[in-house]
Amino acid sequence: MQWLLAINRGYLTTFGYILCPLGAVKKMRILVVEDDSLVARGLKQGLSRVGYTVDLAGSAEAAEVSLQTEAFDLAVVDIGLPQADGLTLIHRLRARGSLLPILVLTARGSMEDTICGLDIGADDYMAKPFRLPELSARVRALIRRANSLADACLRHHGLTLDTGSHTATLDGQLLDLTNREWAILETLLMASPNVVSKDRLVQTLAGWDKDITPNAIEVHVSRLRAKLAEGHIEIRTVRGIGYRIDAPGN
């Protein structure tokens, strides 16, 4: 069950928010359809830590009720559900014209199951046991595709974060960032020009260190500032709230 422990340790890249018109930030909502309560709780914990709102459904029937009454940005669906299985659920959703992005996550790993799942309308497919970094990347890609964000790069004047290759450049020069610095910078860019609270940054870094503190956030931000100084990009402190990333000259 090492893959489940990986969920509980939160190895998911921050991508729980997406930019909306006028700079607003929308928190993404995911429906996990999984009858194994241990797996379901682990997924909810891991995804929630990085900013997603996660709802659980233990059967296809419960999932259909949720999907008819609530709006979701993505569904993670297990094939081996009681009564109607996951493939039946996906078929029903597509027959009704639903365009909801669906990631199939199941213990069945045969080529036939993969082909069947994709043919009836799943957007992507992963078999258990799975690696959390890969799951995170696939979730990001599906949400990005559904929201017409084809570019995997986050740009802010001379600063570019490529979420696909996990590289950062400043004025064309490669930036050497730790995982924690990357997560903070990604979160700030996703929210820009809005302010990101310290509490949210603490939640972001919980995947690497569950005992992360606001004081540790200040240390990481200080190091980031030093690395961005050459490009005159400032991480501004908003007293009593958190941080925002500013353009040169602001």
Q: Provide the CATH number for the domain around residue 198.
A: 1.10.10.10
Amino acid 145: pLDDT = 79
Residue 187 has a pLDDT of: 86
Is the domain of 169 the same as that of 86? no
- Model confidence pLDDT, tens digit, residues 63-86: 999 998 888 989 999 988 999 999
Q: Specify whether 162 is located in the same domain as 142.
A: no
Rounded CA gap, 159 and 81, in Å? 45
CB-CB contact of 159 with 168 (8 Å): yes
Structure-token pair, residue 209: 């260190």
State whether 236 and 163 are in the same domain.
yes
27 and 137 together in one domain? yes
CATH of the domain at 44: 3.40.50.2300
Same domain for 112 and 23, yes or no, is yes
Single residue among 146, 162, 182 that ends a domain in this structure: 146
User: What was the pLDDT predicted at 212?
Assistant: 81
- Residues 159, 142 within the same domain: no
* 160 vs 180: CA distance, rounded Å: 17
Structural domain including 191 reads 153-246
Residues 160 and 230 in one domain: yes
Q: Last residue of a domain, which of 127, 146, 165?
A: 146
pLDDT tens digits, residue range 186-209? Answer: 889 888 888 888 888 887 776 555
My answer on whether 130 and 164 are in the same domain is: no
Q: Mean pLDDT, 10 residues at a time, over the chain (250 residues)?
A: 42 45 56 94 81 90 93 91 93 90 80 80 86 74 70 83 85 91 89 85 70 88 95 91 77
Same domain flag for 180 and 159? yes
Flag whether the pTM goes above 0.85. no
Q: Is 55 exposed, middle or buried (0-12, 13-18, 19+ CB in 10 A)?
A: middle
Tell me how many domains the chain contains.
2
Same-domain check for residues 72 and 26: yes
